[in-house]
Structure 1
Amino acid sequence: MTSHTVTRHDVTFGSGGDTCAAWLFLPDGVENPPVVILGHGLGATREMRLDAFAERFAQAGIAALAFTYRHFGDSTGRPRQLLSIKRQLADWDAAIAHVKTRPDIDNTRVAVWGSSFGGGHAVIVAARHPELLAAIAQCPFTDGLASARALGPKGTMRVLPAVAADILSHVRGKAPVLLTLAGAPGEKALMTAPDALPGYLALVPEGGTFVNEVAARVAPTITWHRPGKAAKDVQMPILFCICDHDSVTPPDETIAYALTAPKNEIKRYDAGHFDIYLGEPFEAVVADQTEFLTRHLKA
């Protein structure tokens, strides 16, 4: 397979009156390449290893747009650290609309790629956009109740006071009450699996920053969010990359949902939720994803 040199461009696109910051990776010397849009997981930004995947896809001749959701990173949106499922899905719609206007890519050959919480988004977006040619859901969040069980009843009880305080703050028009996103076991946080905090920190580039907080009001919306139910409505080929030792998005539920997608392809990895971004697990998954995208986007 030809390996292209890659040029990264800083781009932005509008969403709901705000601006999403993004990187567009273009394969040098390829006219009208297909494009894959990449979105990250819970509270993460594109700097946290989305560039690693995007660059590999671009080396294979596939343009890649990696973006950061509103309210996070260098995208705009107030208040900061607000995780709204509805707004993040609107950001995906805006990203798709943006690539359809670009003259430097083939806007008839578009795919989406989401990881973790973004993997759940990718399933919903693929179901809503039948014009897409392919979708990838990596260690996807598919069932909030299953993830809540992974947190456990004690962990759930720890976050409830912050949730109540933030909802009251929102009603009063005050600044959000923030909740730790990833914490050590036993701490008050949305994720407390042993690999959650070190897993997030391992994705932060040297000299980079990661704001390990979200507005607490999101917790109940996550619990009742079941993006896996949309898999049955995804009409294009969709690749599910599932980690067998996933402590955040339990693999059994994900596999059950994946099997309902009419054109599903399932790959499993001997890895944990955060292992997939680095080292040998990364090399394995990015090779599978590149092959999948090349095949279905006719790169």
Structure 2
Amino acid sequence: MREDISFQTSDNVTLRGWFYKPSESNGPLPCLVMAHGFSALKEMDLNTFAEYFIAHLPLTCLVYDNRGFGDSDTKEGQPRQEIIPAQQTSDYSDAITYAQSRSEVNKHKIGIWGSSYSGGNVLWVGAVDRRVKAVLSQAPMVDGWANFHRLIRPDFVAGLNQTFEADRHARAAGKSAAVIPVVDADATKPSALPTPDSFEFFSAWAAKSNWKNEVTVKSIEAFREYLPSAHIQHISPTPLLMTVAENDVLTPTDLALEAYSRALEPKKLHILSGGHFEAYSGPNFEKNARVQVEFLQTYLCS
């Protein structure tokens, strides 16, 4: 059972998504709040996860598009396709508030789920929003500075810094925000996610969704400065499940494992075979979702 929903953020932006609940339920149920990663839309397999969760658990799911993407609005006067970490983490907390307002939801049992960029967001929110009772972080971006310098060739960095400066001056003069492709078939051309698996994943979705192959230049500058694992040790005593792909070249495996080592108990690490995007579909999906269900059953739905 899926319902189209909308809710307001604390700065009066309308975010839109879906609310899932089991076809039969007794009383208020726990809720898992879910948003997608860098530029991705809710249609890009979040429905698959939510449907799996409610089929196997006494659980509701709130799935929404990040501000400025998909069906969600952005603040008046601000560009779409822009990713600002502080806004996205604040929006997670506003989504929790909305979930708590629903009669179907047990407001004392709220979990958060994120993947890739939002996998980093939930590490931040899980540490600073004490309403959260379970954190599921999948293939997370944990350190923007380190991740940026893994993805961007050293000889490209100076040019990007000049692009950041030019964009700041242009926006201050009232001009439109500059944009950059999310992916490009040619790794030597500027793009936000210059890996072959990123191009394959997003290009496939571009053909069957309203995903757009662009983000603002400011999104890349904001990516570099973001350290979502800064408070990872403060998630405890909230339980944490971190899912890490063993050959992740987009949000590198070793960075995620180092961050996990700093988290305190209770925590669980699930290492999946394959790369960054193989958690969403194919043979790995069942393995991945089953472990997440077991974690939710233990810590949120018991």
Does the alignment reach a TM-score above 0.5?
Answer: yes
Q: Is the 8 A contact 2:116 2:251 kept in 1?
A: yes
1:17 and 2:18 correspond: no
Give distance in 1, aligned partners of 2:80 and 2:44. 18
Q: Please name the residue that 1:273 is paired with.
A: 276
Give distance in 2, aligned partners of 1:57 and 1:290. 6
Query: Compared with structure 1, are the counterparts of its residues 276 and 202 closer, same or farther at alpha carbon in structure 2 (3 Å cutoff)?
Result: farther
1:229 and 2:230 correspond: yes
| Greater CA drift, 56-65 or 110-119 | 56-65
Q: Is the 8 A contact 1:164 1:217 kept in 2?
A: no
1:245 and 2:241 correspond: no
Give distance in 2, aligned partners of 1:111 and 1:200. 27
Q: Any idea what SS the aligned residue of 1:107 has?
A: strand
Q: Is the 8 A contact 2:205 2:211 kept in 1?
A: no
Give distance in 2, aligned partners of 1:140 and 1:269. 13
- How far has the Cα of 1:241 moved from its partner? 0.1
Q: Is the 8 A contact 1:37 1:66 kept in 2?
A: yes
Unaligned runs of 5+ in 2: none
Q: Please name the residue that 1:3 is paired with.
A: none
Q: Please name the residue that 1:210 is paired with.
A: 211
Please tell me the residue identity of whatever aligns with 2:93.
Answer: D
Give distance in 1, aligned partners of 2:47 and 2:89. 21
TM-score normalised per structure 1:
0.93
Q: Any idea what SS the aligned residue of 2:107 has?
A: coil
Please tell me the residue identity of whatever aligns with 1:130.
Answer: R
Give distance in 1, aligned partners of 2:293 and 2:262. 23
Q: Please name the residue that 2:178 is paired with.
A: 177
1:51 and 2:31 correspond: no
Give distance in 1, aligned partners of 2:219 and 2:294. 36
Q: Deviations over 1:213-245 (max 9, x none)?
A: 111012222112111121111021100000011
1:8 and 2:2 correspond: yes
| Greater CA drift, 92-101 or 258-267 | 258-267
Unaligned runs of 5+ in 1: 1-6
Q: Please name the residue that 1:4 is paired with.
A: none
Give distance in 2, aligned partners of 1:54 and 1:158. 41
Q: Please name the residue that 1:66 is paired with.
A: 63
Q: How does 1:153-192 map to 2 (within 5 A)?
A: 153-157=154-158, 159-184=160-185, 185-192=187-194
Q: Any idea what SS the aligned residue of 1:94 has?
A: helix
Please tell me the residue identity of whatever aligns with 2:301.
Answer: K
Query: Compared with structure 1, are the counterparts of its residues 41 and 115 closer, same or farther at alpha carbon in structure 2 (3 Å cutoff)?
Result: same
Q: Which runs of 4+ in 1 moved over 6 A?
A: none
Give distance in 1, aligned partners of 2:156 and 2:193. 9
Q: Is the 8 A contact 1:240 1:265 kept in 2?
A: yes
Q: Please name the residue that 2:102 is paired with.
A: 102
Give distance in 2, aligned partners of 1:13 and 1:98. 7
Q: Is the 8 A contact 2:16 2:64 kept in 1?
A: yes
| Greater CA drift, 158-167 or 126-135 | 158-167
Please tell me the residue identity of whatever aligns with 1:49.
Answer: D
Give distance in 1, aligned partners of 2:200 and 2:159. 21
User: Alpha carbon RMSD of aligned pairs, Å?
Assistant: 1.5
- How far has the Cα of 1:157 moved from its partner? 4.3
2:36 to 35, 40, 52: 40
- How far has the Cα of 1:155 moved from its partner? 4.3
Q: Is the 8 A contact 1:34 1:105 kept in 2?
A: yes
2:263 to 261, 267, 270: 261
What is the number of residues matched between the two proteins?
Answer: 292
Give distance in 2, aligned partners of 1:220 and 1:188. 14
Please tell me the residue identity of whatever aligns with 1:30.
Answer: S
TM-score normalised per structure 2:
0.92
